[in-house]
């Protein structure tokens, strides 16, 4: 148990003499949380895939996730410049939308000097995305990870740029061809 009261487990190699039945029971106990996680992850992805393959008319489906901050440097910089560098935030959106019976997919990457990765940044990035979309898009469905400070905070629910929100589990939903 850590200092926040959360039970942690660590897997180690251990030689143990057990019967086959005890081994199977122990394996079932330990694999159950993974099976539940795997089911939820696969179901979320299949729902996303189904939606993007059958996008309703005048609807945009986007996947949003912060990238790590990008360190800006010169190719042949002097060694003292290593300690004094600029950073930029990269925030990619992968969008699929349908307008006039035509489905389009695009990658939109926003580069910003704001390094805070909070709900204010998300709101302004969603506004940039809305301005990028063609006129006629009436509904925006956004998928993102469940980061509370960025996408799940109470402040984002007041953001009228997104009509519907869905959340992938952490580190899921970033690849279209995952399954």
* Prediction pTM value: 0.70
More confident residue, 164 or 25: 25
User: Using CA atoms, how far apart are residues 97 and 115, in angstroms rounded to an integer?
Assistant: 29
User: Using CA atoms, how far apart are residues 10 and 12, in angstroms rounded to an integer?
Assistant: 6
Q: Looking at residue 132, what is its pLDDT?
A: 93
- Other beta carbons less than 10 A from residue 134's beta carbon: 10
Rg of the Cα trace of the chain?
Answer: 22
130 secondary structure, DSSP code: H
Top-ranked range on mean pLDDT: pick from 27-36, 120-129, 131-140, 163-172 = 131-140
Range of weakest confidence among 6-10, 48-52, 95-99, 134-138 = 6-10
User: Using CA atoms, how far apart are residues 57 and 101, in angstroms rounded to an integer?
Assistant: 7
Q: Looking at residue 137, what is its pLDDT?
A: 93
* Average pLDDT value for residue range 93-113: 91
- Other beta carbons less than 10 A from residue 78's beta carbon: 7
């Amino acid at each position: 148990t850590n200092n926040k009261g959360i039970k942690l487990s660590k897997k180690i190699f251990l030689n143990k003499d057990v019967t086959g039945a005890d081994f199977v029971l122990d394996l079932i106990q330990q694999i159950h949380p993974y099976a539940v996680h795997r089911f939820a992850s696969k179901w979320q992805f299949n729902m996303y895939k189904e939606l993007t393959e059958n996008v309703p008319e005048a609807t945009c489906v986007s996947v949003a996730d912060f990238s790590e901050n990008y360190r800006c440097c010169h190719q042949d910089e002097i060694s003292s410049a290593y300690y004094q560098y600029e950073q930029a935030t990269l925030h990619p959106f992968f969008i699929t939308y349908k307008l006039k019976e035509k489905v389009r997919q695009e990658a939109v990457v926003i580069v910003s000097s704001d390094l805070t990765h909070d709900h204010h940044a998300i709101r302004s990035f969603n506004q940039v995305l809305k301005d990028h979309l063609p006129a006629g898009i009436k509904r925006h469905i956004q998928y993102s990870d469940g980061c509370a400070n960025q996408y799940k905070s109470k402040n984002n629910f007041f953001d009228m740029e997104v009509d519907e929100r869905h959340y992938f589990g952490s580190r899921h939903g970033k690849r279209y061809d995952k399954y």
